[in-house]
Structure 1
């Protein structure tokens, strides 16, 4: 277990939080995956404990990210409300059923699906000119994404962002809207964690991840507005494929 009580010891966590939020703010996914992996592999935390810490951090980082995306005009209001209610319902259901349902059983299949989506987005970005169109399937994505995020320790960004991009929605609007809805989703899921864990879990790693994530949040929104659609599709495809493949590998080997 790493002691993260001094400024010097906090620096690695600040760096991880900064990098993870830059990726998440610009591409709409991966903060939870990056931070969870770091906490489990470097600190030896259990996945459940790591997920609790990351959700607490995300309550603050998603708020700053949401404000930044709104200021940069990256949020589609109609899409926001179509995702908001189903997402919260899914999050509440996932949190409620977590103690009775083994979410790990379905996780490898979800991750395998996301690998396929990642490869599709990568190929689409490389070979085809981007075409923007209105999404047809939104509410079910919000429900499923919210449920998986609560019950499986992550999944909102990869599930919702990737599928909206597949449907042809403008990437910066997808990223901005999904990140903004995520604040309300994370706030709902994190309420129980904060009540049960108290302020002691804000020491060490959580503080470092929080500092790095909050500082990086405005930069992610800035990048999402200016990165070309084709480049964003390629980057999302790579990030989604790599992180999902790694997650599926870990889930299969136990």
Structure 2
């Protein structure tokens, strides 16, 4: 059993001693400063690392003492943290602290600890501490990432509003408790479910009806364009000769693989499918329209599945969906009116995404900063939507790669980008349909089927990979696909 008693300490009213000056000391210092930045801290160590000195230079409340530990260092301290890699020294400091009546934490040595440092989720005034009783700090960090993404950013406003309401309540203590219970029971009451559920599934309903509308549009186009009503019987008799089963199966495999990558990592569908279609001999001028026609269905199922599995960050989704749609419409129009120039966009785009792949790989092995913020997400989405429609790919590679390099949890980035991708692709596909007055149904039917099969599988896999593995996979994929696109674009320009 975990018999630890959880408390939240006003550490800024106490004096903290940290023994050790290496990376573990730096980690403890950062944790303390993030939660209680005004705490009086003394660091004692014979060798103090450069990053620790840099951090101390930024905070006047950190005092550095460069020499070996002495028992007198405990005088005046209220709490001690031992961050050295010598078991004997750690035992000595822990024994001295206990004799002095000072609570001590010894890093990675649970049997010498009086208390453990927990993983902390922070949302404004809300703090949630997670403890595994010293069994696995890694599990605590993973739970912190998962739970942190589930708590909405609006929680700070909720707390402020509840404080205002609490201050205005009248009556004695039992009456105030009763009134607060009435106000907050909507958060847990079963009878509130029917009122909450429609809001929760709103985007699922929007995706479903948009898919139905686009499907009916394609069916109508097929009936009017492909079936000669003056010779219906002859048309169906000749259908087996027009339908190439090998081409259909190849397209289905391409759609399946492209959507598996896109749905689980949030990028790669346009790049993979565009490269495949070019290699298969499809003229570059109509590649983008075919790719987007197939992606409407697969991205719709993918977005629906991500919403169902709770992979959506609503704030991020709202920030990118409208700018992405605007960029896609402009890109589709530019692709139609300037079909011969789309190849020039791929070279700078590929160079940029190769750098992004390197940046993401570096992020996989570097310590991530929880203060990283996504800035200019709307402009990023506009650029991603434009290049995706204009050059046949780039939404996932641009948007997901940039966002995932800044945010701590790839799961919610990928889910949000995939849901927004449906509306971006739908907008560009309708634009292509209006301008080209046709949709190549037979050529992309296999890609549609393969993508729709892969979409729910990929959405289920997105939260299963470890964060570091996800970064490595995404970075490697970006570099490989971008190098392929760059090489083909250079060859295409040389031939022209």
Instruction: Confirm or deny a common fold (TM above 0.5).
Output: yes
List aligned pairs for 1:56-135, cutoff 5 A: 56-98=293-335, 99-100=337-338, 102-125=341-364, 127-132=365-370, 133-135=372-374
Identify if the C-alpha distance between structure 1 residues 15 and 78 changes in structure 2 by more than 3 Å, giving closer, same or farther: same
Identify if the C-alpha distance between structure 1 residues 72 and 194 changes in structure 2 by more than 3 Å, giving closer, same or farther: same
2:473 aligns with one of 235, 244, 250 = 235
Q: Classify the secondary structure of the residue corresponding to 2:462.
A: helix
1:25 aligns with one of 258, 263, 278 = 263
Contact persistence 2:407–2:413 (CA under 8 A): no
Contact persistence 1:131–1:168 (CA under 8 A): no
1:198 aligns with one of 399, 422, 438 = 438
| Offset, 1:253 | 2.1
Contact persistence 1:84–1:142 (CA under 8 A): yes
For residues 120-177 of structure 1, give each alpha carbon's deviation from its aligned partner in whole angstroms, at most 9, with x where no partner exists.
211221x224455542231111111111112222111000000001212420111111
Identify if the C-alpha distance between structure 1 residues 93 and 220 changes in structure 2 by more than 3 Å, giving closer, same or farther: same
Q: Classify the secondary structure of the residue corresponding to 1:226.
A: coil
Q: Classify the secondary structure of the residue corresponding to 1:168.
A: coil
Of structures 1 and 2, the one with the larger relative CO (CA 8 A, separation 6+) is 1
Contact persistence 2:374–2:406 (CA under 8 A): yes
**Is 1:166 aligned to residue 405 of structure 2?**
yes
**Is 1:55 aligned to residue 292 of structure 2?**
yes
How far apart, in 1, do the equivalents of 2:274 and 2:462 lie? 23
Identify if the C-alpha distance between structure 1 residues 234 and 23 changes in structure 2 by more than 3 Å, giving closer, same or farther: same
Contact persistence 1:66–1:183 (CA under 8 A): yes
Q: Larger Cα Rg: Structure 1 or Structure 2?
A: 2
CA RMSD in angstroms, aligned pairs only: 1.9
List aligned pairs for 1:199-238, cutoff 5 A: 201-203=440-442, 205-238=443-476
Please identify which structure carries the higher strand content.
2
Identify if the C-alpha distance between structure 1 residues 95 and 88 changes in structure 2 by more than 3 Å, giving closer, same or farther: same
Please identify which structure carries the higher helix content.
1
Q: Classify the secondary structure of the residue corresponding to 1:146.
A: helix
How far apart, in 2, do the equivalents of 1:129 and 1:40 lie? 40
**Is 1:179 aligned to residue 415 of structure 2?**
no
Task: Using structure 1 for the length normalisation, give the TM-score.
Answer: 0.91
Q: How many residues align?
A: 248
Contact persistence 1:135–1:169 (CA under 8 A): no
| Offset, 1:49 | 1.8
Contact persistence 2:333–2:432 (CA under 8 A): no
Contact persistence 1:76–1:173 (CA under 8 A): yes
| Offset, 1:238 | 0.6
Runs ≥4 in structure 1, deviation > 6 angstroms? none
**Alignment match, 1:138:** 377
**Alignment match, 2:251:** 13
| Offset, 1:95 | 2.4
